[in-house]
Structure 1
Amino acid sequence: MGYIMDLRKAVGTRPLIMVGSCVLIFNNEGHLLLQRRTDSLDWGTIGGSLELGESLEEAASRELYEEAGLRAKSFKFITVLSGEDMYYRYPHGDEIYNVTAVYEAIEVEGMPKINDNEGLELNYFSLEEPIPNLNPSIEVILRKAGYITKW
């Protein structure tokens, strides 16, 4: 978070292009693990921005452990998403245009647990019906990546 905080000191809340990874973790029933975030109080996927010198896969691995206390043997690349509909404005006013690499975690080890100050709780959700209080950006990601087709 150091790099982004340094940028924010220079540009304030103006839009930044943020590059990061989104990690999708499915249980044996095919339900998706989401975290209720402290900054927006809604449900989102595990993931975050790159740190300087970090690869997208390294960011996925780091975020998976930091936010959910989990490790994955590997990651399956799904897609990269960007553009106007990847814009997000945080409740505190910071604006970003996300460039997001979407991965599925393969052979996940451990039990999900809050492991940092970014999440309030973790829970698995079926993608067969709408998820209450789902972050709008995450809905865009799940739709564009082909995980939501029914609602």
Structure 2
Amino acid sequence: MGYISELRKLVGTRPVIMSGVAVLVFNDRGELLLQRRADSGDWGTIGGGMELGESFEETAHRELHEESGLICKELILKAVLSGKDMYYRYPNGDEVYNAIMLYEAIGVEGEPFLNDDEGLELKFFSLTEPIDNMNHASYMILSKSGCIQW
């Protein structure tokens, strides 16, 4: 059982600060890999919460592999995101204020595939126009970091 699951046993759904990562994976056409989330059915960035003792970079590598089956040679820090705009309420009622390290994966190896039960589908999207059914937290990550302008 992970850190957040253990913490939730103590605090219930009350807001907590959650340290985590989002990982940008671009294909050769400049499209971004997103995951259709199993908990909400909407499209979101690859990433997740940090486990006890992990570095942000270790979290990014782990989440990238867990959610997409991919590995990368390098991570480039693109943004540090936090504050009231990073509030998110999960479908189960859990509330978080995310503190996110946003990385871009460089030297990505493999073809994306669902590697855990957190996702329903993986797909590359152009960032030139709005993406239908995008997860609000992921929208905030992409807009606050300057990845999207819409």
Aligning the two structures, in what range does the TM-score lie when normalised by the shorter sequence?
over 0.9
- How many residue pairs match? The answer is 150
Q: Please, what is the CA RMSD of the aligned residues?
A: 0.7
Cα deviations across residues 80-112 of structure 1 (Å, max 9, x unaligned)? Answer: 100001000011100000000000000100000
Structure 1 match to 2:122? 122
Shift, 1:137, TM fit: 1.1
Alpha-carbon distance in structure 1 between the residues aligned to 2:4 and 2:73? 28
Alpha-carbon distance in structure 2 between the residues aligned to 1:146 and 1:2? 31
Structure 2 match to 1:2? 2
Alpha-carbon distance in structure 1 between the residues aligned to 2:3 and 2:145? 28
Give percent identity, aligned residues only.
Answer: 64
Structure 1 match to 2:94? 94
Alpha-carbon distance in structure 2 between the residues aligned to 1:147 and 1:5? 31
Matching residue's letter, 1:48: G
Shift, 1:72, TM fit: 0.3
- 1:108 matched to 2:111? The reply is no
Structure 1 match to 2:142? 142
Matching residue's letter, 2:27: N
Shift, 1:128, TM fit: 0.3
Structure 1 match to 2:42? 42
Alpha-carbon distance in structure 1 between the residues aligned to 2:64 and 2:136? 21
Alpha-carbon distance in structure 1 between the residues aligned to 2:28 and 2:115? 22
Structure 2 match to 1:62? 62
For structure 2, the 5+ residue unaligned runs are none
Cα deviations across residues 99-137 of structure 1 (Å, max 9, x unaligned)? Answer: 000000001000000000000000000000000000011
For structure 1, the 5+ residue unaligned runs are none
Matching residue's letter, 1:83: G
Alpha-carbon distance in structure 1 between the residues aligned to 2:35 and 2:18? 20
Shift, 1:58, TM fit: 0.3
Shift, 1:2, TM fit: 1.3
Cα deviations across residues 39-94 of structure 1 (Å, max 9, x unaligned)? Answer: 11100010001101000000000000000000000000011100001000011100
